[in-house]
Amino acid sequence: MTEGVIQSVRLLAGRYQVGDLLGRGGMADVHVGIDSRLGRRVAIKLLKPALASNPSFRSRFRREAQEAAKMAHPTIVRIFDAGEETLVGDDGSEVQLPFIIMEYVDGRLLKDMIAEGPIEPVEAVRIVSQLLTALEYSHRAGVVHRDVKPGNIMVTNTGQVKVMDFGIARAISDSSASIAETSTIVGTAQYFSPEQARGEAVDARTDLYSTGIVLFEMLTGRAPFTGENPVAVAYQHVNQQPLPPSAFTPRVSPALDAVVLRAMSKDRFERFQTAREFRIDAEAAGAGAIPPRKTVQVNEFNSTLFGANPNAPTGSEATFRQLNVDQHDRIPRTQNRPPVAWIWGGIAVMIVMVVAVVLWTLSLSQTSYTQNVAIDVPDIVGLPFEEASTKIADENLVAERHDESSPEIPAGSVIRTDPEAGITVAPGQDIAVYVSSGGRQVKVPAVVGAPQADASAAITAAGFTEGAITQEYSPTIKAGVVISSAPGPGENAAEGSPIALAVSNGLVQVPSVVGQAVGAATNTLVGLQLEVKTVSDWTCGGGAVSSQSATGDAPQQSAVTLTYCAKP
C-alpha cells in the first residue's frame, strides 16, 4: 500500500473525517479530524502504510489504544475510539489500516519549547510535576510508558500538560519484557534508562529515569548525553555519570541539581521509587527548599545503653528525651547509691554519639551538593600511558585503557581520549584512553594487473594508504594497469602505511639497433611486441642495420621499419 491510498482516505468508520497532517512519528502519522456524529475536533492516528501489513505492528498499535483507554486523567491524552479501515491498495488487494481517534490538544510539543532554549526552573518544575502526576496515575493503573520524552508531551495554551503515545507501553505485570524480545528498539535511545540500554527488565522506575532526563533538558536546553549514533548514547546511559544541570545553567539551584541526579541514578534502587516521591521532592526543590534525605533503617538491637535505645532516632532531641524518662518508668534500683562513674561515663558516650551524628549528617549534606563539581579532561595525547594515567588520577578521574594500532604514534603512547581534552565531566568519571600498540602488520593485497582505480580501492580497503604513483613502460600491459607495487603483493606492511604503485603508460621505449645484424635487431624489437618490417639496401653489404624508422617512445605494438645492408 502506498501513500496515495492514505491520501485517498477521507472518512473512517463512517464518521471521522480525515483532515490535514499534524505530525509524523516512527509508527504512525497524526491528522486533524472531525467527528461528524458529535461535531467535535479530534486527532486521528493512522499506522504508516509500510507497517500496516505487518501483524506485529498492528498488534502494537492496538495495544497502544487498549493501554491508553484504561486511563482517564486530565494529564493524559484521551482515547475516544479505535478500529481498522479496509482499503484497496494500488495493486487491487485489500489492506487493513488501523486507526486511533484521540483527544485533539491545542498546544505545543515540549520538544519544540526546549528547542528554543532552557526553560525557567519554576516553569520546568511545574511541567514535570504534571508529567509525574500522569505517570503516577498510569503506574497505579498498571502501565509503564517506556518512551517518556519531550516529543510525547504536549503543553496546551492554558499550560496543561498532556502525555501521549503509549505505543510501546506494557502492563507492569508484564514488564519483564525487554529490548531483547524484538528486533525493534523499544524506546528512544536519548531517553533510555540503563536497564533499557542493557536489554534488562523494566519497571515504573524506568519512566522516572526518562523523566529525569526530560527535566534536565528543560533546565539546560540540551540532552545530558549525546553521541554519533544510538549505540554511543546508550553506552553513556550505562557507563557515564551526568553533569548537574547547574554546570550549564547556573541559575539552577543545588537542590534541583540533587533531584535531577537522583532521578538519573544508574542503579534503579537509588532513584526515586515512585512518581509521587519524585514529584514531592521536585516541587520542594522548585520552591527553594532542600528535599529531605531518606535514611536507611539499621538492624534492631535488644538492649539499651544507659536508658537510651541505640536504634532510636539519632537526633539530639530524641536522645535526651530517652535520657530524661520519668522516674516512675525506670526499673527500680537495688543499690542504695548509683554508680556515679558509670553515669558520667554514659553521659560522655552519649555526647560523643550526638556530635558524631551531627558531623555525619553535615558531611552527607555537603557531599550531596558538592560531589558534582565539574572537571575538565586534561590533555594527555602523546604521553606514555603510565604518565597519562597518573595525570588523569590527579584530576579525580579514572583512566580506562584501550589498545589501538597506530603507525604514527609510538607504541605505549596515548593516541586520544574520550571525552576529548577540555570537555567538562563529573568527578570519578571513566575516561577512555586509547594507547598505541604500534602499526599492525597487514598483508599487501594482490593488485598487479588491476586497473589503477581498482588497485587504489583495494589498498584502502586493506587498511593502507595510497603512496606514490609512477608511470612505467611496458610492451604488454595496457595503459592504466598496475605493473608492480612496493611493498609487493603478499608482503607484510604496517597498517596505514603507504603502498607505491607502478602503472603502465601504454608506451614502449624503442632502442636503437643500427649497426646490429638484422636478425638480432629484429629479435630485439619483436621481443618488445613491436611489428618489424625490413627493407634491403643493395648499396652496402654485411647484413647490418643501416637505419630504422623509429626510436624512443612509441605506442605499444607499433610498426618499426629496419633498413639493412643486403649487398653480398
Each residue's pLDDT tens digit, 300-353 = 333 333 333 333 333 333 333 333 333 333 334 444 444 556 667 777 777 877
Instruction: Give the pLDDT confidence score for residue 341 in this predicted structure.
Output: 60
pLDDT (average), residues 14-30: 84
- By the 10 Å C-beta count (0-12 exposed, 13-18 middle, 19+ buried), 77 is classed as buried
Per-residue confidence band for 9, with pLDDT thresholds at 50, 70 and 90: low
Q: What is the pLDDT of residues 213-266, one digit of tens each?
A: 999 999 999 999 988 888 888 889 989 999 999 999 999 999 999 999 999 999
Percent of the chain with pLDDT over 90: 39
Q: Which whole number is the average pLDDT over 107-123?
A: 93
If you compute the radius of gyration of the chain from its CA atoms, what whole number of angstroms results?
40
Q: What is the pLDDT of residue 554?
A: 92
CATH for 508-567, options being 2.60.120.260, 3.30.10.20, 3.50.50.60, 3.30.300.20: 3.30.10.20
Q: In this prediction, what percent of the chain has a pLDDT beyond 70?
A: 80
Specify the pLDDT at position 360: 63
Contacts with 559 (C-beta within 8 Å, 6 or more apart), sequence order: 530, 531, 532, 533, 549
CATH fold group of domain 107-286 = Transferase(Phosphotransferase); domain 1 (1.10.510)
Whether the link from the prior residue into 487 is cis, omega within 30° of 0, is yes
pLDDT range class, residue 356, cuts 50, 70, 90: confident
| pLDDT, mean of residues 514-522 | 91
CATH fold label, 375-436: Trypsin Inhibitor V; Chain A (3.30.10)
Comparing 309 with 561, which gets the higher pLDDT? 561
Task: Judge contact between 263 and 208, C-beta under 8 A.
Answer: yes
Q: Which residue has the higher pLDDT, 506 or 173?
A: 506
Task: Encode pLDDT of 181-200 as tens digits.
Answer: 333 334 577 888 998 888 88
Query: What is the pLDDT, as a whole number, of residue 227?
Result: 83
Q: Please state the three-class secondary structure of 270-282 as a single string.
A: HCCCCHHHHHHHH
User: Does residue 472 contact residue 421 with C-beta atoms inside 8 Å?
Assistant: no
What are the angstrom distances between the C-alpha of 529 and each of 86, 473, 557? 75, 12, 5
Distance of CA 60 to the CA centre of its chain: 25
Pairing of strands 94-103, 40-47: antiparallel
State yes or no: pLDDT of 130 exceeds 80: yes
Strand 531-541 to 492-494 pairing = unpaired
360-408 pLDDT, tens digit each: 655 554 444 434 456 888 999 999 999 999 999 998 888 989 887 776 7
pLDDT reading at 208 higher than 50: yes
Q: Could you count the other beta carbons within 10 Å of the beta carbon of residue 253?
A: 18
Identity of the highest mean pLDDT range in 86-95, 279-288, 493-502: 279-288
When mean pLDDT is compared across 64-68, 152-156, 499-503, the lowest value belongs to 64-68
CATH topology agreement for domains 107-286 and 375-436: no
What residue type is 276 in one-letter code? R
What average pLDDT does the segment 75-83 reach?
A: 87
- Residue of 147, 165, 203, 281 with catalytic role: 147
Mean pLDDT of the 142-163 span: 90
- Can you identify the CATH homologous superfamily of domain 3-103? Phosphorylase Kinase; domain 1 (3.30.200.20)
Contact 394, 427 (CB under 8 A): no
Q: Kindly report which listed range (140-149, 397-406, 417-426) carries the lowest average pLDDT score.
A: 417-426
Q: Return the pLDDT at 306.
A: 34
What is the mean predicted confidence (pLDDT) over 501-511?
93
In this structure, the dihedral spanned by the alpha carbons of residues 253, 256, 257 and 262, taken in order and rounded to 10 degrees, is: 160
pLDDT category, 179, cuts 50, 70, 90? very low
**pTM exceeds 0.85, yes or no:** no
Q: Higher model confidence: residue 3 or residue 528?
A: 528
Out of 3-7, 482-486, 564-568, the most confident range is: 482-486
207 noted as active-site residue: no
**Architecture of the domain whose range is 441-504:** 2-Layer Sandwich (3.30)
Q: pLDDT tens digits, residue range 452-462?
A: 999 999 998 88
Window from 156-160, 274-278, 297-301 with minimum mean pLDDT: 297-301
- Banded model confidence at residue 358, pLDDT cuts 50, 70, 90: low
pLDDT of 543 higher than 70: yes
pLDDT for 82 beyond 70: yes
Domain boundaries, the chain: 3-103, 107-286, 375-436, 441-504, 508-567
Does 91 or 150 have the greater pLDDT score? 150
pLDDT of 169 over the 70 cut:
no
Which are the contacts of 104, defined by CB distance < 8 A and separation ≥ 6? 32, 40, 41, 42, 43
Which residue bears the cell 519484557?
177
Which cell goes with 565? Answer: 645492408
Q: What is the pLDDT of residue 340?
A: 56
Averaging pLDDT over each range in 2-6, 34-38, 353-357, which range is the top one?
Answer: 34-38
Among 303-317, 409-423, 521-535, top mean pLDDT goes to 521-535
Question: Cβ neighbours of residue 76 under 8 Å, at least 6 residues apart?
Answer: 68, 134, 137, 138, 162, 163, 164
Q: What is the mean pLDDT of the chain?
A: 80
Q: Average pLDDT, stretch 271-298?
A: 80
Q: Is the CB of residue 154 less than 8 Å from the CB of residue 77? A: yes
CA gap 458, 156 in Å, rounded: 58
d(CA 486, CA 498): 9
H or E segment and range at residue 156? strand 153-156
- Per-residue pLDDT reduced to its tens digit, 26-67: 677 889 999 988 889 999 988 877 777 777 777 777 777 777
Question: What is the DSSP track for 443-491?
Answer: EPP--TTSBHHHHHHHHHHTT-EEEEEEEE--SSSPTTBEEEEESPTT-
Give the pLDDT of residue 464: 86
